[in-house]
Amino acid sequence: MTYLPRLGLAFLFFLFQSCGEEDLQKEGASIPTAPIPKEAVTEFSGDNALQHVAAINEFGPRPAESEGYQKSLRYLEKTLKKLGWKTKRQSFPSSTPIGTVNFTNLLARHSPDREPDWLVSPPYLLGGHLDSKRYPEIIFLGANDSGSSTGVMVEVARVLSQHGDSANQVELIFFDGEEAMLKSIDPKRDGLYGSRYFAGHLKSRKNKPYAGIIIDLVGDDKVPLLIGLDSHQNLQSHARVAARSLNLQKSVINASGGIIDDHVPLINGANIPCLHLIGDFQKMPYWHTKDDTIDKLSPQALKNCGQLVLKILHQLTAG
Ligand SMILES: [Zn+2]
């Protein structure tokens, strides 16, 4: 992810000022759902989430097309299946600055007894990237970037699976190719491959999600978790209310602007209101280095993020 250039930021602010005061549109979905209960929030285990990060790190670096990425996909499919979730691979080639690369997003729905209707979107989307940045010259494991969000999403899946139809509120999306092939993300040319593809193909569905939550770099309790200011204002408010109620108001704070990540194509390409939650990577000296290893992660930080996400989903679905 990259801080938006000034001009881009101003433009995005204009966009969001113009739509931010509207409520989220709730129409079109036809999946039986129940509110996500508040008890779900306390059931999230940071230790469980950390175990998933450790398991994925065992597979080595996981840039798009790598053996590590394929093994991570299979781990997620197997783990989610045990929890009653069905998964679907969304594979596509894309031209990149280093040539054509084959990417694979992984989509998941809680549907223990039958194949879900993949053409009907659940009300909410929880996403994060699975790929680690391609560094041919070093062993880059990306424990925090993006093992942490992946671990949180799998543990959220476990918690939701214990609450019947409330799990139908959420589609999980593990995006491939968030990371740029070259140094930095360029939202139109390099990086965000999986989210751009997903956003472009939502048209083929009968409805869109009401809103999305994108998480990234959420495992380090020494840095704050930032609310991206290009998030939908209504969702920003939900995040602040949830943080206060969990007594996390000191560790969940506003970013200084918008930060480019997988929410950008969802907002700009598919018009889905999004919340972007990201650890303050500018305070992580190990960010995008070989030192992004599991010792930088804490169960507490993963728990803070997981509980915050569940609390926001509770507020959105019970309100
Ligand atoms: Zn990264």
Q: How many domains does the chain have?
A: 1
Q: Are 297 and 222 in contact (CB under 8 A)?
A: no
User: Which residue reads 């997981």 in tokens?
Assistant: 306
pLDDT digits (tens, 9 = 90+) for 10-42: 333 333 433 444 567 665 556 889 999 999 999
Asked if residues 40 and 33 have their Cβ atoms less than 8 Å apart, the reply is no
The answer to whether 211 and 272 have CB atoms below 8 angstroms apart is: yes
pLDDT tens-digit readout, 88-144? 999 999 999 999 999 999 999 999 999 999 999 999 999 999 999 999 999 999 999
Answer whether residue 247 shows pLDDT above 90: yes
CA–centroid distance, 216 to ligand 1, in Å, is 9
Place of tokens 């065992």: 58
- Please give the pLDDT value at position 32: 85
Q: What is the pLDDT of residue 221?
A: 97
Q: Does position 252 have pLDDT exceeding 50, yes or no?
A: yes
Question: How far does the centroid of ligand 1 lie from the alpha carbon of residue 133, in Å?
Answer: 6
The alpha carbon of 179 and the centre of ligand 1 are apart by a number of angstroms equal to: 6
CATH of the domain at 130: 3.40.630.10
Q: Which residues surround ligand 1, an ion (CB under 5 A)?
A: 133, 145
**Angular region, 28: left φ>0, alpha ψ -120 to 50, beta rest:** left
Which residues, in sequence order, are CB contacts of 226 under 8 Å at separation 6+?
253, 254, 255, 259, 277, 278, 279, 280
Residue-wise pLDDT for 142-172, tens only, equals 999 999 999 999 999 999 999 999 999 999 9
- 59 CA from centroid of ligand 1 (Å): 18
The model's pLDDT over 179-225, given as tens digits with 9 standing for 90+, comes to 999 999 998 899 999 999 999 999 999 999 999 999 999 999 999 99
Q: Which of 292, 227, 301, 291 is nearest to 49 (CA)?
A: 301
CA of 56 to the centre of ligand 1 (A): 16
What is the structure's pLDDT at 23?
65
Q: Mapping DSSP to helix (H, G, I), strand (E, B) and coil, where does residue 123 land? A: coil
**Which residues span the domain enclosing 271?**
2-318
Q: If you measure from the C-alpha of residue 18 to the centroid of ligand 1, how many angstroms do you get, rounded to a whole number?
A: 30
Q: Mean pLDDT, to the nearest integer, of 299-313?
A: 98
pLDDT the model gives residue 1: 58
Confidence (pLDDT) at 31: 82
Distance 90 CA to ligand 1 centre (A): 21
> Residue 281 Cα, ligand 1 centroid: separation in angstroms?
9
Cβ contacts of residue 291 below 8 Å, gap of 6+? 285
pLDDT, tens digit, 9 for 90 and up, residues 256-305:
999 999 999 999 999 999 999 999 999 999 999 999 999 999 999 999 99
Which has more confidence, 4 or 124?
Answer: 124
1 alpha carbon – ligand 1 mean position (Å) = 6
The pLDDT of residue 14: 34
Question: How far does the centroid of ligand 1 lie from the alpha carbon of residue 288, in Å?
Answer: 6
Distance 225 CA to ligand 1 centre (A): 15
Cβ-Cβ contacts under 8 Å for 30 (sequence gap 6 or more): 120, 206, 207
